[in-house]
């Protein structure tokens, strides 16, 4: 019994806070008689969540596909770019400002442009997700490839190893943990990218993601349903993050039998 309490204790405080917040929200809405369009009560949000559950689940699935496709492209493309960067300082110096540009570009501002170029479709959503989520991969993997322990580098140099051997046998395996670290950050970003892109793709009838649902509910002034969709977005972000974390931990455990990121000192 005691151990059961101890096991659950980390969840009790956050759960209690959640209930307290929900109750406060409910009471505020009741006492001040706030209109439903401005702030629906938590119960009506839960109700909307239940009523729209199939729509939201389908939309979440669509958005999850777009976000994970974007994340996958970021992982592959970002790693390739990082390998190029690690091999040529000239390339790195020439291109790095543009990579930072990718990070700083207001995605909300270029999404309409991308729609013009790529159309109201899945591809555009993935494209936006890639643009917003590729930077952490490039930057983490590049630093992983370049910051290899000096003794290990000397070990290879003592054997007169070629550049290629150094890359394949040392730099790339050493950068695996950095790639996973980058993907953890990118997973959240790719969901944001997909949803923002869906705002713009809108109700074209060809595509139905969470972002599309949200713009539709906003136009209909269905605030409770909008908030339910918002909850689905959050859940989706958590799901993708957890998925990447789980995969990362599994890979690292098989890689070095360590779960953390302390493999290089």
Partner 1 sequence: MGISLPTENDRANESAAAFISCSNVVLDFQSRGVSQRVLSDLSLRVLSGQIVSLLGPSGCGKSTLLRVIAGLIDADSGRIEIRGQPISKTMPNATRDEISFVFQEPALLPWRTVWHNVMLPLEIRGLSKLKEKRDTIEHLLQVVGFKSSDWHKLPSQLSGGMKMRASIARAMSTNPKILLLDEPFAALDDMLRSKLNDLLLAISKEQKCTMLFVTHNIAEAIYLSDEIAVMSHGRIAECLKVPIPFPRESKMRSSNEFAAYFGVVSESLSRCHS
- Judged by CB under 8 A, the residue of 39, 83, 102, 161 near partner 1 is 161
| 176 part of the interface to partner 1, by CB under 8 A | yes
| 88 part of the interface to partner 1, by CB under 8 A | no
Least distance (Å) between residue 149 CB and partner 1:
7
Q: Work out the number of other CB atoms within 10 angstroms of the CB of residue 188.
A: 18
| 250 part of the interface to partner 1, by CB under 8 A | no
| 257 part of the interface to partner 1, by CB under 8 A | yes
Q: Which stretch binds partner 1 (CB under 8 A): 47-55, 96-104, 144-152, 179-187?
A: 144-152
Determine contact, residues 174/148, Cβ cutoff 8 Å. Answer: yes
| 146 part of the interface to partner 1, by CB under 8 A | no
| 158 part of the interface to partner 1, by CB under 8 A | yes
Residue 97's nearest CA partner among 125, 135, 47, 46 is: 135
- Judged by CB under 8 A, the residue of 30, 88, 147, 149 near partner 1 is 149
- Nearer to partner 1 by Cβ, of 185 and 264: the residue is 264
- Nearer to partner 1 by Cβ, of 185 and 251: the residue is 251
Least distance (Å) between residue 156 CB and partner 1:
7
Residue 210's nearest CA partner among 189, 236, 184, 187 is: 236
- Judged by CB under 8 A, the residue of 3, 104, 151, 205 near partner 1 is 151
| 163 part of the interface to partner 1, by CB under 8 A | no
Please measure the distance between the N-terminal and C-terminal CA atoms of the chain and give it in whole angstroms: 42
Helix 223-256, helix 53-87: angle, nearest 10: 40
| 156 part of the interface to partner 1, by CB under 8 A | yes
| 263 part of the interface to partner 1, by CB under 8 A | yes
Least distance (Å) between residue 180 CB and partner 1:
13
| 261 part of the interface to partner 1, by CB under 8 A | no
- Judged by CB under 8 A, the residue of 36, 123, 157, 163 near partner 1 is 157
Chain residues that interact with partner 1, rule: CB under 8 A? 149, 151-152, 154-161, 165, 169-170, 173-174, 176, 255-258, 263-265
């Amino acid at each position: 019994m005691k151990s059961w309490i101890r096991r659950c204790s980390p969840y009790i405080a956050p759960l209690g806070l959640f209930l307290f917040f929900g109750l406060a929200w409910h009471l505020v809405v009741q006492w001040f008689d706030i209109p439903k369009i401005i702030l629906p009560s938590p119960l009506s949000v839960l109700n909307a969540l239940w009523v729209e559950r199939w729509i939201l689940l389908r939309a979440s699935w669509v958005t999850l596909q777009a976000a994970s496709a974007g994340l996958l492209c970021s992982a592959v493309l970002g790693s390739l770019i990082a390998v190029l960067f690690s091999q040529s300082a000239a390339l790195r110096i020439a291109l790095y400002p543009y990579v930072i540009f990718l990070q700083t570009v207001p995605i909300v501002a270029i999404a309409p442009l991308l729609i013009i170029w790529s159309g109201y479709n899945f591809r555009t959503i993935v494209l936006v997700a890639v643009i917003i989520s590729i930077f952490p991969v490039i930057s983490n993997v590049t630093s992983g490839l370049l910051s290899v322990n000096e003794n290990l580098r000397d070990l290879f140099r003592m054997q007169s190893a070629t550049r290629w051997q150094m890359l394949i046998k040392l730099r790339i395996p050493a950068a695996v943990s950095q790639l996973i670290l980058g993907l953890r950050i990118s997973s959240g970003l790719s969901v944001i990218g997909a949803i923002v892109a869906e705002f713009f793709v809108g109700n074209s009838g060809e595509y139905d993601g969470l972002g599309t649902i949200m713009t539709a509910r906003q136009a209909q002034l269905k605030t409770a349903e909008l908030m339910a969709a918002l909850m689905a977005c959050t859940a989706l972000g958590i799901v993708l993050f957890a998925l990447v974390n789980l995969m990362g931990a599994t890979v690292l455990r098989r890689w070095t039998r360590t779960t953390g990121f302390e493999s290089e000192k």
